[in-house]
Structure 1
Amino acid sequence: MTNQWGRGGTTNGRRPGNSSGMALAIVASLLIGAAGSYGYVRYAGHQERQAHQAVQEERDKLADQVRRQSAELDDLTLKLMAADGDKSRDNQAADAEERKLQDDLARMTQSRDKLQQDNDRLGNEAAGLRVQIDGLTRRLTLAEQGNTDADGARARLTKALADAEQARDAALKQAGDLKASLDEAQANLRSAAAERDKARDSEMDSMQVARETSLTIKTLTAELDKTKTEAGEQAKAANDARQALARISGDLAAARQSQQRLQADLARVTAERDALSQQATREPSGDQPAGGQPAAEQPATPTETVAPRPADTVERVLGRTPGLAGLSDDKRDDLKRQLIAGACVATALESAFGRVPLVTLRNMIRDLQSDC
């Protein structure tokens, strides 16, 4: 049977059976010769006893020589059989090692191709994320400048995407280096196979080269596993970036809706305040009932005041609401008194700041559960 190197599976050395047959033929020839000598001496002994004695001694020497040569032939036969067996086992082991190396190279090539596909997919996903980030950046630019939470989240997301892109580039570089190493290992294996075909009598040298190549492949396999692990981590980072992008988009939409509601509330409160101011301006200065009694005060507009609030609740809300650090102690105390008295949040903030900060207004309306 022909193996992958183009040689037959059987060895070309002498077979143990042939060596045994040769030894038996030699022994038989010696025995026949000894028997002939013995017959000659027997028949000649009738003529001369002294000559018979000499032939007897020669026969004994010849028998001893036959025994020694038979023992040597048996020992030689065993050595030949052992040598043929060792050579056959060496050839089989070398062929098995080469087949294993070929299988390992095939698996590593498949793993390398899959890793390249994964890296290409990560590159496409990163490009898609970049497009989404650019769109989100343009929309964030049009949003409220004071929305620091959205700006910080955008910066974090941009940095996370940049880190993911750097990690992907590093993985691509490692994949390229690994491909070069695999190509070198394949070239070494082909070279080892050519040397083995040229020098079939140097099986041990070829097996040493194969073992060194196998060690190189094992090292490259470990590097490939490490690169695959890093690629999985990069894919997870890209997935986290996509999830963060979705969360930021949702937070931005919610912030815009809240800003629109606050702007509508502010416009309504401002319109109501202006209407009250105009109404007070139109009232005649001497409008008093008969008897000299002043006119009864008009009840407060429901949108300007609500029910009084607990002092400890107001204190907690003021302590955690952003945007109040710039107030002086007097203005902070005045703001606190108005809120405890039940004043509208927008009116109290405008009294303290001279304007209505939208983020602070949103948080205080939410925490105090106020309508204005």
Structure 2
Amino acid sequence: MVNQWGRDGNFSSSGARSSGAAGIVVAALVALLLGAGGGYTAARLFGGVSLSDVQSRDEKIADLEKQVSDLKFRNADDSDQTGALRARVEELAKANETLKALADDRTNEAGADARAEIAALKKTIEEAGDLRADLNRARRSLQVSELQIIELEDTIKGQRAEIDKLRAGLTDAATQSNAGNRALGDQIKALEAALAESRKKAAGAADLAKRIAQLEDGLAQKTAELSAAERRSSSIRKELDAALAANTGNSGESAALRKQLAAARAEAMSASAERKATQASLEAMRNEKEKLAADTDALRERIKSLEAAHGDDTPPDSGQNDDNASMRRDGDAVRAALADMPGFDRLSAGKKGELARRLEDGECVADALKATLGRVPAIALRNLIRDLGSKC
């Protein structure tokens, strides 16, 4: 009988046995092909085998598939071919084991890498948890700073509006009464001149007080020197009188004592003359000091009268409307206000003194800050206007 491949289907008993053996071999080869395919897939996935090895195994698998296909059409018993196939099956089994081993190694390496990466991620998460509190604090500080900035901006807007209002008022006052403003300007100039003269006399009084203190020290020294010279003269006179009373006849000793006495008297007279000159200079300076004090009092009275005549009118020059408050700011109040001014402690001694002097003289706060610092810090302006009760 001829089968579907054109071969005779009648076999002898030995042929049947050979065909059964060939079928077993084919089944084994198919199983190995499946295992090799799995190993091949694992090798492809883990990438642990080189491209040449993969291509070589691909060729072997293709060859094996071809042989299996050929065996399907063979029914003859070929012991040599069966042995070759068994050898090939063993070779492929070893290759499959190698691929499995490589796949296991790659799996272990991938697991180790994954564990290391997980540990690193856990550490990063822990560190992020520690930093979360700092981040929250920084966010709160930022929110507070933003609120402070908003508050400062609102304060600056209010101050600008107030300054604009004051300037508008000054403009209206200048438009309504130019003559009155000119008279007011003359009064302010007179007040400034009186203030400058008062400053000059105050500086002269301070220098005079220093010179008086020096003269008083010099007078005390001259008085001490005169007392010492008088004591020496008296002592020498006593020695001379004792020598003359004894009438020892030692004219040489008496002459020496007389010479010492004359020198002591001359020294005492010189010290007395210097003391008198110092006393006279001291008296003259004291008189000058009293005169300066009287002049200063007169200037103060003049300033008060000018202030009374000035009243509360606004000066024509905008930004100078606090000049009418000259000599009215208390020094202690100015120092207390400056002590609370932000950034005042970082200024040089010269700038501190200049700013305090300008404010004590009644200068506009904004102008004093501009002249001293070269700018007008908003917070400092607001605080000083508030603490000093200034209008600008």
Instruction: Settle same-fold status: TM greater than 0.5.
Output: no
Query: For the pair shown, which has the larger CA radius of gyration, 1 or 2?
Result: 2
- Alignment TM-score, normalising by the size of structure 1: 0.33
As a proportion of its length, which structure holds more helix? 2
